[in-house]
Amino acid sequence: MSSDKLTSQPIDLSSYNPETDTVRLSFFYQAGGKGEVPEKKDSLLLEYYSPSADKWEKAWFAVTDTSSHFSQVILAVPEAYYQAGFRFRFRNYTSLSVAEVSGGEGALSNVDCWNVDYIMMDTRPASEHYLIDDISLTEAPRELLDFYESIPWLHLNDAQEIVRNFLHYVIRNLSPDPFDSVNVGRTYFTHDLNTGVFQYDEVLNSKFGGASVNRANDAFFIPFTREDDSPEGAVEVTAYLIKNDEQYKPNDTTRTILNFRDYYAYDDGTPEYGFGISGESAAGALLACRFRLYRADTLNALDILFNKTRNHFNEGLEFRICAWKDAGGVPGELIYMSPETFTPGEQEGMAGFRRYRFAADTAIVITDTSVFVGWKQVTEDFLNLGYDVNRNTLPRTYVNISGDWDNPGSSLIPGTVMIRAVFGKEIITGGEEIPGEKEEVEIYPNPASDRLFIRTGGFRPVRLRMVDLQGRVLLEKSGETDGLDVSSIPAGLYFLQLGDRKGSLVTRKVVIRH
């Protein structure tokens, strides 16, 4: 079946004379890459469009079942296509069969990948298409936050231990002459998109021979810090090369935007594969992923990306979201399981993340330095969770099918499941805290053993709730009051929530001792 298409804009070739001009189209292609390798009955197809005939016709194709390096193709466009409105397109034919995948119908998704690059069309000789004088960066800046791709903006200043890393350059010299050594400079700068501040690093130089891929790991010294009280931030990191003026320029710069919002993320947002658990014992199976935290906060949701599947098979498959304590590197005590079930749901366009929130009356305050989050399956079918192979977090991923937690380890391609842990305010509330007035609320004595007293200024509470670290409500009282009897509450750390008639809320930490 025909799957994806990449189509050019209309191109006017009517001014070219077939007797003196030869229009050539060249490109590089690769089978598989970091994605699933095609089978022999799959193919990559190039087609030309004739405006006069209003018809697409086959110009070239490739078939392989082996992952390959990039190969170049140079084609002369037939003179019959020298028309206004000429177009070309790439298509891939894929085979989607339950018999050919592990996971059944739910696994029929990201398959048969082809990569296409350096598409050029002009009248230069074929030799000039082949001789590409280009020294390029082949990857954007990555791993700038150690093992994370993003962390919550409000946690950033507490996570400074992970923001001093290396900037990894992957530099390719496309000159076919291995003795064509060129001196190239490299450097980077950052742009804080909140404040507008630019910071620059020094230029380092190295020589790179032709027909080579070179790697450089330079210390990354520019800090990522939160300088204001904005709810989220973004920093653009730009790496670039300094080359001779004669060399091709568009490929000498790569950029990454680090979006700091409210979640911890390992993945880069793009799934190359799909992950799932299926079979007769899969109903009730558990998936858990470990996240390292840098400050205490409330876990209030999971962001999950599910792949689109053939005939939308996985859209109605059910699961529950969960959280577990960390028991020495493996999932321990269950601290949350959603009372309701969720589904991947309908998806339009490209697959994207969907937010699955914890119950509104639940506050899961994480004070440990790590937590596991994931799901409990309700179905035996393959849910097809997005799987990013650009970062390996399998050592932090566990599954439980038979009652014991197991690490998938070497049984899977190295990668990361696309689940993100979302954190919010210290306590999830329905209202907003009042600046200024909340400082006038005083709780005493603290620690308390029998009775807790409340002294307020302009803030007038009409309801009180005592909540434990798992979000359970232990005491609740309505009406205006100046205190609360806490003699029946076990010793420990709690949160006292005070709400007024406007729906605003003030939260105070309380220690109970007996």
DSSP string, 70-109: -EEEEEEPPGGG-STTBEEEEEEE----GGGSTTGGGG-S
What is the DSSP secondary structure assignment for residue 440, as one 8-state letter? G
pLDDT for residue 414 is more than 60: yes
> What are the residues whose beta carbons fall under 8 Å from the beta carbon of 14, sequence distance 6 or more?
82, 83, 84
* pLDDT of 372 higher than 50: yes
Rounded to two decimals, the pTM is 0.78
Question: Given pLDDT bands bounded at 50, 70 and 90, which one contains residue 504?
Answer: low
Pairing verdict, β 114-122 and 24-31: antiparallel
276 HSE (CA, 13 A, CB side): 33
Q: 39 exposed, middle or buried (CB, 10 Å; 0-12, 13-18, 19+)?
A: middle
Q: What is the pLDDT of residue 384?
A: 96
CA neighbor of 296 nearest in space, from 425, 420, 396: 425
203, 186 contact by CB (below 8 A): yes
* Token pair in block for residue 471: 């979000």
Note whether 498 and 464 are within 8 A (CB).
Answer: yes
Instruction: Look at the block and give the residue holding tokens 């994370």.
Output: 148
Residue 436 has pLDDT above 70, yes or no: no
Is residue 380 helix, strand or coil?
coil
**Average of pLDDT values for 378-394?**
95
Does an H or E element contain 126, and which?
helix 126-130
Q: If you average pLDDT over residues 216-220, what whole number do you get? A: 92
Over pLDDT 90: what percentage of the chain?
62
Residues 21, 327: Cα–Cα separation, whole Å: 71
Q: Name the more confident of 357 and 462.
A: 357
Distance CA 201, CA 223 (A): 12
**Residue 229 has what pLDDT?**
77
pLDDT at 204: 95
Specify the higher pLDDT residue, 127 or 474: 127
Cβ–Cβ contacts within 10 Å for residue 129, how many?
Answer: 20
Burial of 359 (0-12, 13-18, 19+ CB in 10 A): middle
Q: Rounded mean pLDDT of the chain? A: 89
Residue 2 pLDDT grade (very low, low, confident, very high; cuts 50, 70, 90): low
- Banded pLDDT at 430 (limits 50, 70, 90): very low
Distance separating alpha carbons of residues 500 and 461, to the nearest angstrom: 4
Query: What is residue 474's predicted lDDT score, i.e. its pLDDT?
Result: 83
Name all domains of the chain by residue range, CATH numbers in brackets: 2-130 (2.60.120.260), 135-261 (2.60.40.10), 273-424 (2.60.120), 437-512 (2.60.40.3080)
Give the span between the Cα atoms of 170 and 511, in whole angstroms: 53
Does residue 427 register a pLDDT over 80? no
At residue 428 the predicted structure's pLDDT band, cuts being 50, 70 and 90, is very low
Is 269's pLDDT higher than 80? yes
Buried b (16+ CB within 10 A) or exposed e, 435-455: eebbeebebeeeebeeebebe
pLDDT tier for residue 205 given thresholds of 50, 70 and 90: very high
Instruction: Please compute the mean of the pLDDT values over residues 375-389 and round it to a whole number.
Output: 96
The CA distances from residue 272 to 33, 110, 220, 386, 418, in Å, are 10, 7, 28, 8, 11
Stretch (H or E) spanning 49: strand 43-50
Instruction: Name residue, tokens 């009280």.
Output: 229
The Cα 205–Cα 242 span in angstroms is: 9
Residue 487 has pLDDT above 50, yes or no: yes
Polymer length of the chain: 514
Question: Does 341 have pLDDT greater than 70?
Answer: yes
Res. 502 pLDDT band, cuts 50 70 90: low
Predicted local confidence at residue 501, as pLDDT: 67
Give the angle 34-37-39 at the CA atoms, nearest 5°: 170
pLDDT for the residue numbered 432: 38
Element (H, E) at 128: helix 126-130
- Under 8 Å between Cβ of 272 and 34: yes
- Tens-place pLDDT, residues 152-203: 999 999 999 887 778 999 999 988 888 888 899 999 999 999 999 999 999 9
Q: Once rounded to an integer, what is the mean pLDDT over residues 132-153?
A: 92
pLDDT band at 429 (very low <50, low <70, confident <90, very high): very low
Using only C-alpha atoms, the chain has a radius of gyration, in whole angstroms, of 29
What percent of the chain shows pLDDT beyond 70?
Answer: 95
Residue 54 has pLDDT above 90, yes or no: yes
Cα(236)–Cα(197) distance, integer angstroms: 11
Is pLDDT above 80 for 434?
no
Residue with the larger pLDDT of the pair 486 and 426: 486
